[in-house]
Amino acid sequence: MDNKHIPARPLDGITVVSLEHAIAAPFCSRQLADLGARVIKIERPAVGDFARAYDTRTNGLASHFVWANRSKESLALDVKKPGGDVVLETLLAKADVLIQNLAPGAAARMGLSFQALHERYPQLIVCDISGYGAGGPYEHKKAYDLLIQSEGGFLSVTGGAGEDELAKAGCSIADISAGMYAYSGILSALLLRGKTGQGSHVEVSMLESLVEWMGYPLYYAYEGAPPPPRAGAAHSTIYPYGPFPVSDGEVVMLGLQNEREWALFCQCVLEQPHLLEDERFNSNTQRSTHRQALRQIIVGAFDRLGTAEVIARLDAAPIANAKVNDMQAVWQHPQLQARQRWVQVGSPNGNLPALLPPAANSAFTPRMDPIPSLGEHNETILAELGYSHGAIDDLKAEGAI
């Protein structure tokens, strides 16, 4: 298609330089690339982003890396080697955004603090992502996703009721939350720069990002009140809300939110309207208090029904429900298929499926370009910066690229 017929994307013309690894910063910069930004991912020569080596599950590529790094250009650059720092400075002079999630203090030691950069490049937006944020007793503490889930209280309310039944989220929830706040923070900084002409500093900590998501259990436990009990896959304070087995060995997830739905559930799903007169179940508080007795009633009713019949009754009521899908079922999910949410993107090992960004916009199509190999764009980027073949060879000889 002729480029002049491709609708403009919101971040067309925006250049992002990212000193990134793992998940939080790469996930943030990928969202920017989806919206049209040019993202130049700086990686260590020969090694690259260590997430490249997490596994080989996706056509020989790492699953985390495939997910978080499409539509980027990879520049293998050691900024500590002679000439490497000059390449970075030349890039920053033309960039709109710098993102970094290096070890605490590393960027500042390299002269990449916002204060230092703002003097040289007043238009540059700098986004620092860290585990705990600048200042405070935890500033230099190492932070990985599981550790932040622990520090942020997520583990204390997740899992089964037993003392040894703590459970982490099955995905990198702390990294994802930080990446998404960095993404929205950068977008707001770009809007602000449009008004002031000046770049600004966006600072995001994984701890604060996850604690923001913990608002409900925090307020539930306000001023020393007991926290929500761990309830496995069920809701800790609303009942019935969670998984229930059915006769064919599968599990159906359902949820009730109010008394109207409770009445419909008793009448149309359980076909036991007399439960509406039972004082043990006449409010959500009572149902939650007596959840074991109510669970026995529900399981007993479902034990005579298959999955299809239970879901049919729930849909007819209507009561919110869902199947407990595994990953293969999600790949084949009929709703995602019907809405054509999967597309193909390139990679060093062939085409791979990728989910279109969830925020669909009628005015443009998201950028869905290949996942880069390490250093794939070295020659192109350096040539754009004015480096001759000889100068590029010199950088290679110094180990800078």
Q: Which residues are catalytic?
A: 175
Q: Are strands 241-245 and 251-255 parallel, antiparallel or unpaired?
A: antiparallel
CA distances from 246 to 232, 250, 268, 296, 328 (A): 18, 6, 17, 12, 21
- Give the CA dihedral 374, 375, 376, 377, nearest 10 degrees: 140
**Do 243 and 295 touch, CB atoms closer than 8 A?**
no
**Residue 10, preceding bond cis, omega within 30 degrees?**
no
Nearest in space to 302 (alpha carbons), one of 330, 336, 273, 271: 271
Beta-strand pair 201-205/241-245: unpaired
Give the residue among 213, 147, 145 at the shortest CA–CA distance from 181: 213
Sign of CA dihedral 383, 93, 48, 80: positive
**318: number of Cβ within 10 Å:** 12
